[in-house]
Amino acid sequence: MNNLLSAFRLATLPARTNPFRAEVKAFLQSSLAPAPADIRARSWMGFNAGFSKKLAARGWVGVTLPAQYGGANLDAFSRFVLVEELLAAGAPVSAHWIADRQSGPLILKFGTEAQRQFYLPRICRAEAFFCIGMSEPNAGSDLASVGARATRCEGGWRLNGRKIWTTNAQHCHYMIALVRSSGEPQDRQKGLSQFIVDLSLPGVAVRPIHDLAGDAHFSEVFFDDVLLADDALVGAEGSGWAQVNAELAFERSGPERIYSSIVLLEHWITCLRSRSEASAHAATIGRLATHLATLRNMSIAVTAKLVNGESPLVEAALVKDIGTEFEQSIPAVIEAAIALDPDAPVDAELYRAVAYVSQIAPTYSLRGGTREILRGMIARGLGLR
Amino acid sequence: MFAQAIEDILKDRCTPAVVRAIEAGGSPAALWQAVEGAGFLELLVPEDAGGAGLPLADLFPILSSFGRYTVPVPVAQTIVARALLGSRFAMPGGMITLAAALQREASGAIVCSLTPYGRVADFVLARDGDALWLLPAAAARREATGVHSSLAATLRWPDESAVTHVSGAGPLLPSFAAALHAALLSGAMNRVFEMTLQYCNDRVQFGKTLGKFQAVQHQLSVMAEHVAAASMAAEAAFHTDAAAPSLLAAAMAKSRTSEAAALVASIAHALHGAIGITEEYDLQLLTRRLHEWRMAHGSEAHWNAWIGNKVLASNATIADFVRSV
């Protein structure tokens, strides 16, 4: 059997995650304010610092970080369960999401002890929200062509350039930015470094970008002679590319990549249960349930590899590509199903939810690496490149 | 342990030439004797009854290898049939296949239409409500499907006189039949993927191997995704401590593998070009089966509707429903 395919053998969540899941469900029952489906469908685009603080008070922000830094010290299986329940409920997790998933683990792995002690407890208390500074106007999928530059100066670094499509930059405290610290653009992956940029510093300007759904969840960030202290550098100078790839492995390997449209699917099924024509849609629902169950098992197989200390980069890319295809198919088939009979009344909340998810769904296969980039990674994993 | 031993025997005894000869009407006796002699048929029979007492999870890779080697005898079905009939049953020798359908005609005739391996099987095990019917093929008229090289056939008995009734295990037949075909499909799709990847690494056009073209790489990546997903769904049906797969897990396994089968066959043939549809090239042994097995015991269209009605009838959220599979 091919090595990549043989990696997908069934793994199961350990039984100890069952009581944890019950705790999470009980927390959500008591702490998550009711909201209509089109609001809950925003889930990991939904910024709500108050909810993140409540979650942090329960100990569930920075869940995989060690206790000495205020983390819950839970393994990837428990994080899987937490994420699964938060997304299924449509909880607004965007405020702390990036820090919990990737910035915190990145600082833990590559940061100095002083950086860990400063940032990680703040992350775990939901007092420090992070955003990701990767894309630029001329560096999208071709991330190695970033043009933002940090130059050495007295006491630290001087940062110039701009980042774009940065989720929540207007609400966040820090950005971990990938910028050039030496060499020239033609040096590509060499000479890149990651810096923690305090977004309140002079010279930082954030311009929110309005999207087609009426939200402004991402933004453009300008750096004009921003002075960074020496300790803004995270990890080794020039190691930015390797660090970013480790970070993307955190970003791609979670169950986020199969649940983006789950609130819409749930609400559609709920609406159908009281309708006589429900069985006309049974095959559509059965297909989606089958795909979801299968993708979930694939995602758990990737999680098991993380727990075993492996770095399942290609496996995560594979699950993300097929997972986003599934997530994007949900609004497409629900649109068709809702309008099967033009004379039938349509639930207003469902109508708004399907419109929102349809409009935002193209981003599912952009964020964290496009379809084409992921398929190239899979091809490399198959030995073709 | 068993899986590797079985793979070794299949490699030696179930070559593409053997498969072609049996499909062309040659005797399956030598291959069947090799399978039976190695003790394959008693894998699910409890150890205290002289079998291997294999857990279902360990059966999965074995059934997959039957798909991978396009085994032209109903060995997977016979293993399951022997488990369903129970160790106290006076087991007949020979090949037992599982009926995909059982109809009584007005004349009193019994018909099992489009029965997998109906051309070669000695017995057909069918479900009649809660009961099982064991029907000797020798008493039936076998009607070939007319599909070139297919081993499926419709079997027709003039009346019920030849039936041996066995009470109890009827409801387990559909879940076993769906799950075992999912495993066969998974094994065959993995082999189709390997052959296609190898072909793309060997075949040169425009001065480089096909696998160096980005358009080809992306097709292979998509194929890998669907083979991985289908195999995961098939394996999940066998992940149980129970004596049989649950019907819901088997339904999802058959649905997911059947859906992937059409796509995987299509990409494999597209990338192979014309050589892929020739008789002499082995891909056809696999892709003909992908289509036949997709339809056997319910396609994805059948099972999706069944699963969807289960979701609609349940009070659970969709997330909790899929976790309960």
High-pLDDT (> 70) share of chain B, %: 100
Are residue A211 and residue A139 in the same domain, yes or no?
yes
Contact B225 A385 (CB under 8 A): no
Q: Give me the sign of the Cα torsion angle A65, A70, A73, A79.
A: negative
Among residues A49, A179, A201, which one has the least CA distance to residue A125? A49
B177 and B204 housed in the same domain: yes
CB contact (8 A) between residue B304 and residue A283: yes
Distance from CA of A183 to the nearest CA of B (A): 30
Domain match, A197 and A142 both: yes
Choose one of A193, A222, A238: the last residue of a domain.
A238
Q: How confident is the model at residue A277 (pLDDT cuts 50, 70, 90)?
A: confident
Same domain, B152 and B178: no
Number of Cβ atoms within 10 Å of the Cβ of A33:
9
Q: Residue B112: beta bridge partners?
A: B155
Interface probe for B, chosen from A267, A287, A295 (most Cβ of B below 10 Å), is A287
Count CB atoms within 10 A of the CB of residue B34: 17
Of the candidates B152, B229, B180, B194, which has an alpha carbon nearest to the alpha carbon of residue B62? B180
Q: How many domains does chain A have?
A: 3
Taking alpha carbons only, the member of B236, B282, B234 closest to residue B259 is B234
Number of domains in chain B: 2
Per the CB < 8 Å rule, is A294 touching B307?
A: no
Q: List the structure tokens of A232.
A: 């803004």
- B278 CB within 8 Å of a chain A CB: no
Q: How far is CA A83 from CA A87, A225, B247, in A?
A: 6, 38, 29
pLDDT given for residue A145 in this prediction? 93
> For B53-81, what is the mean pLDDT?
97
Q: Determine the distance in angstroms separating the CA of B97 from the nearest CA of chain A, rounded to an integer.
A: 27
Q: Domain check: are B214 and B258 in the same one?
A: yes
Tell me: pLDDT of B191 over 80. yes
- Regarding whether A98 and A31 lie in a shared domain, the answer is yes
Cβ of B304 within 8 Å of Cβ of A287? The answer is: yes
The two three-digit tokens of residue A10, written as one number:
């069934």
Mean pLDDT, residues A11-30: 97
**Residues 35-54, chain B: which have Cβ within 8 Å of A?**
none
CATH of the domain at A115: 1.10.540.10
pLDDT tens, residue by residue, A88-106: 999 999 999 999 999 999 9
According to DSSP, residue B151 is labeled -
Helix (H) or strand (E) holding A179: strand A174-180
ipTM > 0.90 for the complex: yes
Q: Whole domain around residue A210: which residue ranges? A: 131-238
Q: Mean pLDDT throughout A77-84? A: 96
A376 and A347 in a single domain? The answer is: yes
Q: Is B208 left (phi over 0), alpha (psi -120 to 50) or beta?
A: beta
Res. A225 pLDDT band, cuts 50 70 90? very high
Quote the tokens at residue B127.
């479900």
Q: Is A136 considered catalytic here?
A: no
Q: Is B201 on the interface with A (CB under 8 A)?
A: yes
Where among B137, B166, B195 does a domain terminate? B166
Q: What is the DSSP letter of A276?
A: G
Residues A13 and A121 in one domain: yes
How many Å apart are CA B290 and CA A325, to the nearest integer? 23
Residues B119 and B246 in one domain: no
- Give the end of a domain, one of A192, A208, A238: A238
Q: Read off the tokens for A265.
A: 């699917």
Which of B166, B186, B217 is where one domain is finished? B166
Domain holding B181, by residue range, is 172-323
- CATH number of the CATH domain containing B94: 1.10.540.10
Model confidence at A209: pLDDT above 80? yes
Regarding whether A258 and A150 lie in a shared domain, the answer is no
Residue with tokens 């649940």: A259
Of B140, B166, B192, the domain-final residue: B166
Out of A102, A129, A156, pick the residue that ends a domain.
A129
Asked if A10 and B236 come within 8 Å (Cβ–Cβ), the reply is: yes
Cα separation, B220 vs A334, in Å, equals 29
Same domain, B192 and B53: no
Are B123 and B92 within 8 A, CB to CB? yes
Same domain, A306 and A375: yes
B10 and B155: one domain?
yes
| Residue A11: band (very low, low, confident or very high) from pLDDT cuts 50, 70, 90 | very high
Q: What is the pLDDT of residue A288?
A: 98
Q: Is residue A199 domain-shared with residue A113, that is, in the same domain? A: no
Mean pLDDT, chain A, as a whole number? 95
Mean pLDDT, range B151-180, rounded to an integer: 96
pLDDT band at A107 (very low <50, low <70, confident <90, very high): very high
List of E strands, B167-276: 204-205, 208-209
**What beta strand segments (E) does B91-232 contain?**
96-98, 103-104, 110-115, 123-128, 131-136, 141-144, 153-157, 164-166, 204-205, 208-209
Percent of chain B with pLDDT over 90: 94
B113 and B15 in one domain?
Answer: yes
Provide the token pair at A297.
């098992």
- Is A296's CB within 8 Å of B323's CB? yes
End-to-end CA distance of chain A: 19
Kindly report the CATH number assigned to the domain that includes residue B286: 1.20.140.10
| Residues B297 and B254 sit within 8 Å (Cβ to Cβ) | yes
Residues B18 and B150 in one domain: yes
Distance of CA A257 to the CA centre of its chain: 8
Are both B51 and B149 inside the same structural domain?
yes
The SS3 assignment for B134 reads: strand
pLDDT tens digits for range B28-40 = 999 999 999 988 8
pTM value?
A: 0.97
- Chain A positions touching B239 (Cβ under 8 A) are 10, 12
User: Strand B164-166's sheet: what is its strand order?
Assistant: B96-98, B123-128, B131-136, B164-166
User: What per-residue confidence (pLDDT) applies to B130?
Assistant: 96
What CATH number did the domain enclosing A226 receive?
Answer: 2.40.110.10
Whether residues B188 and B236 fall in one domain: yes
Catalytic residue among A247, A251, A256, A315: A251
Q: Which residue has the higher pLDDT, A224 or A246?
A: A224
Amino acid (1-letter code) at residue B153: A
Say if residue A163 is in the same domain as residue A247: no
- Check residue B282 and give its pLDDT: 98
The answer to whether residues A13 and A106 belong to one domain is yes
Residues A69 and A176 in one domain: no
Q: What is the CATH number of the domain that holds A377?
A: 1.20.140.10
Residue A1, pLDDT score: 57
Whether residue B128 is found in the same domain as residue B256 = no
State which residue of chain A sits closest to B259, comparing Cα positions: A287
Q: Which long-range contacts (CB under 8 A, 24 or more apart) does B203-209 make?
A: B203/B273
A162-207 tens-digit pLDDT: 999 999 999 999 999 999 999 998 899 999 999 999 999 999 999 9
- Is the pLDDT assigned to residue B66 strictly greater than 90? yes
Say if residue B93 is exposed, middle or buried (CB neighbours under 10 Å; 0-12, 13-18, 19+).
exposed
Q: How far apart are CA A335 and CA A340, in angstroms?
A: 9
A229-260 pLDDT, tens digit each: 999 999 999 999 999 988 887 778 778 889 99
Q: Most B CBs within 10 Å: which of A12, A25, A290, A374, as the mutation test of the B interface?
A: A290
A113 and A206 part of one domain: no
Residue B226 and residue B107 share a domain? no
